[in-house]
Amino acid sequence: MNIGSFIWCAAIFTVCASRGVADDSAKLAPLFAAVAEHGGTITIPPGDYALDGTQPIPLASHTTVFAYGARFHLPDVLGDKARAVLFRGENVSDFRWFGGHFAGHVFDPAREENSWEPNVNTRAILISTTGNGETKNLTFRDVTSDGLAGAAISVAGAEKHGSDREIESYARNVTVENCTLERSGKFMWDYGLLWQITIWPEDYSPRERALAAKYFRNDLICPGVSMADGDSRVRFANRDHPVGISRGDDPQYAVCFFGDALPRNVVRGRQYFVVASDAEGIQIAEQPSGSPMRFEGAGGEVKLIHNLSAAYGALYSPTGAGPGKGAMDLVGCEKVIVRGCRLSALGDTMHIQKSRGVVFADNHITGSRMGAFFLAEFCQNATITGNTIDGTNGSRVMSVEKSCEDVTITGNTFRNGGRGSWINQPRNFVMTGNVFINNTTKNEHDPHRGRRSFVTGDYEQKPELYFTLHERDGHYGPVIVRDNIFVTGPECGSPAVTFAPGGQQLLFKDNVFRSHDAAIQVDPSCVDVEIRDNPGASLKIAPVDFNHGRR
């Protein structure tokens, strides 16, 4: 077919699909180039296409892509920090993509062998926006994926330079419907996994120990540590990259110990704080600026880990990981509809951030290694309804992060999450008519399902639902939580529900708690609080740490 004879407004292109070649971009790129100036319709015929993603195929405005039956395969082997984007556009309007399957080999610790490294990042369709540009009227329907190490669908508005929350130019009118994106999204280890394997290696197989030895932040380990009976000195070579005195209780200033034998009053994996430091070692206390500990018994073959923020929290993501989160990643979007999709990931399953006018309805999240439902920072006017969210022992089954406003969550089922539901300093938040079933599985005393905390060295004790602050002196509310059912698991922390300081106009009533007696703990600084008529639960007024869900 002669490209010059095409009528641009209804151009339809076909190519012969093939497999077994290094890259088929040269077959697809001319089809997209032909509609670059005036738009048109592209039909990619069924078949297999190998794409390495080193040079993304450009996407243009006023284009409709039909890819039903087309299967796009990323390379079988991708090494350290490999990056790939298959299709990419900037400032795109009136664009529709229907069908197509994207296949990759995302890292999976459960597999005996992996051909992609954990920090590989592969995205299928990426549309971004410049500060003075415009992105609008995007539809993605019937797209499927399996094994991508990044989002199958990424859309981003232009974030305002120098601001952590403002959007300079929103991507408007974004619709994602009837997509099945499985095992897709950036790989994540989970909080504390590599740390836990390193400190309690006897609980894990040789293969798991080898993964931790390879991918943990070994630069944070100080070997050759000695701790003598009756002494207060932790002795080791503290010269080249010295461990300094703790400047507060943030985990970046904390240390922990592990090894063959520790003094009787030192808990393996528990955080301690440095109160004295020199080239020959340190002294530690249970609190910053506390009295130095004097050891009861000696330590043998002891090692120290410093900067627990980096060793535990930040290492949820592989060192050198690429951008984006989730099988679907929408940042800085306005008037968003996500409906009728099936999603799972070996990291965060989906990610909507700094967006407004969001409807997330009738979707099924079937599995998550990290966060399942993730309404991230500074979203506004969001309705979450009719979804089934299965956390499959991942991290939080639901996160509504950092000052989201005007959020309604109704008629959903949340089950099998790892760290409960985290609501972070919301404004105008309503949660009604939902079912929550055993979302604290990370509290289980099982090394493969549970997670130990560096605060105590023991297993976590997360609540089923917790309201927190990201600003120490922040405020949140109004909050309405009513007519929900909570079926808490046997390891659910006590209290089962917490409200951090700074809450205003908090209504929590007519909720039903099953399985065991639950406590609803409210910080005494909260005002205009009505908590009553919650069968199976009792109210407790007691201090709550402002950021308790993060540690």
B/e letters for 69-95, b = 16+ CB within 10 Å, e = fewer, are ebbbbbbeebeeebbbbbbbbebbbeb
In a domain, 161, yes or no: no
d(CA 126, CA 14): 23
User: Amino acid identity of 533?
Assistant: D
In a domain, 285, yes or no: yes
294 and 413 assigned to the same domain: no
CA 522, 525, 528, 531: dihedral to nearest 10 degrees? 10
Residue by residue, pLDDT tens for the chain (551 residues) are 333 332 233 333 334 343 344 799 999 999 999 999 999 999 999 999 999 999 999 999 999 999 999 999 999 999 999 999 999 999 999 999 999 999 999 999 999 999 999 999 999 999 999 999 999 999 999 999 999 999 999 999 999 999 999 999 999 999 999 999 999 999 999 999 999 999 999 999 999 999 999 999 999 999 999 999 999 999 999 999 999 999 999 999 999 999 999 999 999 999 999 999 999 999 999 999 999 999 999 988 899 999 999 999 999 999 999 999 999 999 999 999 999 999 999 999 999 999 999 999 999 999 999 999 999 999 999 999 999 999 999 999 999 999 999 999 999 999 999 999 999 999 999 999 999 999 999 999 999 999 999 999 999 999 999 999 999 999 999 999 999 999 999 999 889 999 999 999 999 999 999 977 899 999 999 999 999 999 999 999 999 999 887 65
> C-alpha angle with apex 149: 148 to 150, nearest 5 degrees?
90
526 and 430 assigned to the same domain: yes
412 and 544 assigned to the same domain: yes
Question: DSSP characters for 402-463?
Answer: SS-EEEEEES-EEES-SS-EEEES-EEEEEES-EEE---GGGSS-TTT--B-TTTSSB----
> How would you classify the pairing of strands 254-261 and 299-306?
antiparallel
End residue of a domain, out of 258, 293, 313: 313
In a domain, 366, yes or no: no
Closest CA to 197 of 269, 252, 265: 269
d(CA 417, CA 371): 8
In a domain, 26, yes or no: no
Asked if 399 and 377 touch (Cβ cutoff 8 Å), the reply is no
Asked if 511 and 496 touch (Cβ cutoff 8 Å), the reply is no
CA 413, 316, 470, 441: dihedral to nearest 10 degrees? 40
Q: In the beta sheet, which residues pair with residue 529? A: 506
End residue of a domain, out of 280, 313, 346: 313
d(CA 449, CA 193): 10
User: Amino acid identity of 45?
Assistant: P
Closest CA to 44 of 104, 123, 129, 125: 125
Domain span holding position 301: 193-313
DSSP state of 518: E
Residue 277 tokens read as 């430091």
Residue 211 phi, psi dihedral angles, 5° rounding: -60, -45
d(CA 400, CA 428): 12
255 and 397 assigned to the same domain: no
292 and 409 assigned to the same domain: no
d(CA 66, CA 166): 35
398 and 305 assigned to the same domain: no
d(CA 277, CA 234): 9
Closest CA to 462 of 367, 531, 520, 548: 548
Model pTM?
A: 0.94
d(CA 433, CA 412): 7
End residue of a domain, out of 313, 330, 352: 313
d(CA 62, CA 89): 12
Asked if 504 and 530 touch (Cβ cutoff 8 Å), the reply is no
d(CA 304, CA 262): 11
Region of 362 on the Ramachandran plot (φ > 0 left; ψ -120 to 50 alpha; else beta):
left
Residue 94 tokens read as 């009136």
d(CA 257, CA 276): 17
Hey, how many other C-beta atoms are within 10 angstroms of the C-beta on 386?
Answer: 15
Q: CB within 8 A of 178, min separation 6: which ones?
A: 141, 142, 339, 340, 341
Predicted local confidence at residue 550, as pLDDT: 64
In a domain, 188, yes or no: no
Q: How many domains does the chain have?
A: 2
Residue 402 tokens read as 């950092």
In a domain, 482, yes or no: yes
Burial class of residue 134, CB neighbours in 10 A (0-12, 13-18, 19+): middle
Predicted local confidence at residue 548, as pLDDT: 83
In a domain, 405, yes or no: yes
In a domain, 432, yes or no: yes
Predicted local confidence at residue 17, as pLDDT: 40
437 and 295 assigned to the same domain: no
